[in-house]
Amino acid sequence: MPTLSVPSSMTEHGWRDLIVGDRMRVDETFSSRVSSSGFSRSEWGMIMTAVDFEVRGEGDAAELVANTDNLDAILPELDKIVERMGANPPQSAGSSLSNLLEGGGGSFLKNVRSSLGLRNGVDQERRQEAVRLAEDYAEALQRHLEERGRWEEIRDTAIEQDRGGD
């Protein structure tokens, strides 16, 4: 019987592919945390598309971390999701303050800030909340992997792949 080989394009993420099932289980338990945050499920899904997980450190000091460097690219899309949700999206204290200061829709001040290249303080607050939530998710995922006895395998595989060995 012929042996099936996996095309290199399917192993592009390497060790990350090994934790897909674990992520699905953590997603289930983490959903209550997302619900209590200032983000909707749609927003959280978009945030997770911008987060990349990395193993940093060596040996027992290694840890799973959320690389959130790409969050800035999706922040404008988060605003669009909120706009599409209508007048009653879930709001954090910052977005409520923004609506109060900007007279509800806030489009005039938002456009002025945008044309001047200024970042909205509320956006920065939401970014920080997204970073905290992603970091907490990474910790929950590592804990899950440790509890299942998979962390050492994942850690060692990630470190090996990052060194260029396959």
* DSSP secondary structure of 31-66: HHHHHTTT--HHHHHHHHHH-EEEEESSGGG-EEEE
pLDDT (mean) for 107-133: 67
pLDDT at 86: 61
Integer Cα distance of 53 and 155 in angstroms: 12
Percent of the chain with pLDDT over 70: 67
Residue 43, pLDDT score: 92
Output 165 or 40, whichever has higher pLDDT. 40
Nearest to 137 by CA among 50, 64, 43, 60: 64
Query: What is the pLDDT, as a whole number, of residue 104?
Result: 44
